[in-house]
């Protein structure tokens, strides 16, 4: 009994690959031995393999069984060691799943996908961003990078978590920054001094731009005077945190209903939204595009950041134009289908 206990403990310490090799060898050898002992019973080596597997799995259909004393001794041997080996393999598989889940929760697993959105620094804003991304595309994959030790939204399967310093090259590579679609850097709410917050964000985007300059970066900035520092690092988009909230509050106070319009444009979940529309070769001027889109139920509002195109309707549309419209999703899908 002591021998079997020590043997079991040693087997439990073996690596999964070693156990897999032992199980395969055990099955092959037992199948070969069974066929050699009773060729008239099994007729073929594959039948002996089938019998060994059903015996190890305790299924025992009874269509094949050992008839000789050596064969029955082999059967007892398989009962004692084979079933134990199979149980050990099943235990290792369950342990692997549990270990993987624990590593996922602790943010120690590398992300292998591509075309994902990386969200850096966890906060309520980050959670709102995830909700907004998933409302646009429920199948989108998102990677959260934060220096906390637990997955903030473990219940969302499409959200992966990487724990560590977001400015570290190693952590960014674990999030597969090279194949990411975009990265959003939120201000770290755990830092009180706004200058230090922007300093940390600047360090993070500097690392991103150095490693993966093609990734589209959006950064939340606390102080407007720091914008030039971020612009120098080729950041694509800026969001002025306090200023945006303050201006929205003032507009709500001075112009009733103004904030409702802005909130609709900021959130896909309510009302119309802003979409980029592909250029139609039939459009020669901004006026052509404006009238055609209006007939289809969308309103052309800008070419990139130029909101004055309604005063330039006679001007030709540049080849590198990026036109944006206000529309609902159904109308935009219909327009996109016609332009494809």
Residues 246-274 pLDDT 10s: 555 555 555 565 555 555 555 555 567 78
What confidence tens digit (pLDDT) does each residue in 73-132 have?
Answer: 988 888 888 777 777 777 777 777 777 778 888 888 999 999 999 999 998 889 988 988
pLDDT of residue 16: 65
Burial group, residue 54, by CB count within 10 angstroms (0-12, 13-18, 19+)? middle
Least confident of 29-33, 187-191, 276-280, 333-337: 333-337
How would DSSP label each residue in 38-88? Answer: -HHHHSSHHHHHHHHHHHHTT---SSS---SHHHHHHHHHIIIIIHHHHHH
- The pLDDT of 290-307, averaged and rounded, is 89
Host H or E run for residue 145: strand 142-146
Mean of per-residue pLDDT scores for the chain: 82
pLDDT band at 135 (very low <50, low <70, confident <90, very high): confident
Determine contact, residues 56/27, Cβ cutoff 8 Å: yes
What confidence tens digit (pLDDT) does each residue in 6-28 have?
Answer: 555 455 555 667 777 888 888 89
- The pLDDT of 153-182, averaged and rounded, is 93
Residues in a beta bridge with 219:
185, 238
pLDDT of residue 259: 54
Q: At a CB cut-off of 8 Å and minimum separation 6, what does 220 contact?
A: 125, 184, 185, 186, 187, 201, 239, 241
pLDDT of residue 3: 46
Q: Closest Cα to residue 198, out of 209, 186, 210?
A: 186
Instruction: Classify the C-alpha dihedral 280-282-285-290 as positive or negative.
Output: negative
- For residue 286, pLDDT beyond 70: yes
pLDDT of residue 1: 45
Host H or E run for residue 204: helix 194-211
pLDDT of residue 167: 93
pLDDT band at 4 (very low <50, low <70, confident <90, very high): very low
Least confident of 35-49, 228-242, 244-258, 268-282: 244-258
pLDDT of residue 60: 72
- For residue 323, pLDDT beyond 90: yes
Determine contact, residues 82/112, Cβ cutoff 8 Å: no
Least confident of 37-41, 66-70, 258-262: 258-262
Distance of CA 33 to the CA centre of its chain: 49
pLDDT of residue 271: 62
Instruction: Classify the C-alpha dihedral 212-214-220-222 as positive or negative.
Output: positive
SS3 label, residue 162: strand
Q: Closest Cα to residue 207, out of 172, 252, 181?
A: 172
**C-alpha span between 58 and 29 (Å, rounded):** 19
**C-alpha span between 227 and 223 (Å, rounded):** 8
Whole-number Cα distances in Å, 163 to 134, 168, 227: 22, 11, 28
Determine contact, residues 201/185, Cβ cutoff 8 Å: yes
How would DSSP label each residue in 228-276? Answer: HHHHHTT-SEEEEHHHHHHHHHHHHHHSTTHHHHHHHHH-TTSS-EEEE
What confidence tens digit (pLDDT) does each residue in 184-212 have?
Answer: 999 998 888 888 998 999 999 999 999 99
Q: At a CB cut-off of 8 Å and minimum separation 6, what does 303 contact?
A: 286, 309, 317, 318, 321, 322, 323, 324
pLDDT of residue 240: 74
In the chain the first and final C-alpha atoms are separated, in Å, by: 74
pLDDT of residue 255: 58
Burial group, residue 17, by CB count within 10 angstroms (0-12, 13-18, 19+)? exposed
Host H or E run for residue 281: none
The single residue listed with the structure tokens 């001007």 is: 315
């Amino acid at each position: 009994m002591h021998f079997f206990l020590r043997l079991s403990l040693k087997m439990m310490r073996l690596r999964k690959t070693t156990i897999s090799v032992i199980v395969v060898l055990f099955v092959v050898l037992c199948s070969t031995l069974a066929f050699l002992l009773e060729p008239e019973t099994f007729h073929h080596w594959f039948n002996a393999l089938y019998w060994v597997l059903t015996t190890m799995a305790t299924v025992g259909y009874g269509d094949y069984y050992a008839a000789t004393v050596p064969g029955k001794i082999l059967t007892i041997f398989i009962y004692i060691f084979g079933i134990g080996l199979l149980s050990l393999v099943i235990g290792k598989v369950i342990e692997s799943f549990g270990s993987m889940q624990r590593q996922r929760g602790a943010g120690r697993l590398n992300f292998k996908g591509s075309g994902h959105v990386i969200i850096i620094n966890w906060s309520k804003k980050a959670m709102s961003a995830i909700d907004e991304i998933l409302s646009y595309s429920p199948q989108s994959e998102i990677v959260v990078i934060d220096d906390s030790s637990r997955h903030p939204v473990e219940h969302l399967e499409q959200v992966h978590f990487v724990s560590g310093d977001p400015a570290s090259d190693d952590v960014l590579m674990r999030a597969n920054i090279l194949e990411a679609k975009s990265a959003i850097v939120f201000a770290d709410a755990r830092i009180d001094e706004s200058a230090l917050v922007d300093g940390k964000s600047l360090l993070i985007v500097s690392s991103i731009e150095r490693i993966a300059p093609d990734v589209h970066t959006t950064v939340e900035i606390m102080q407007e005077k720091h914008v030039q520092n971020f612009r120098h690092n080729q950041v694509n988009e800026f969001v002025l945190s306090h200023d945006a909230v303050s201006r929205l509050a003032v507009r709500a106070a001075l112009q009733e209903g103004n904030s409702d319009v802005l909130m609709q444009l900021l959130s896909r979940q309510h009302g119309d939204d802003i979409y980029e529309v592909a250029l139609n070769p039939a459009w020669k001027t901004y006026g052509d595009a404006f009238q055609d889109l209006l007939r289809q139920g969308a309103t052309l509002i800008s070419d990139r950041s130029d909101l004055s195109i309604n005063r330039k309707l006679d001007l030709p549309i540049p080849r590198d134009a990026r036109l944006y419209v206000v529309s609902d999703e159904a109308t935009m899908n219909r327009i996109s289908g016609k332009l494809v």
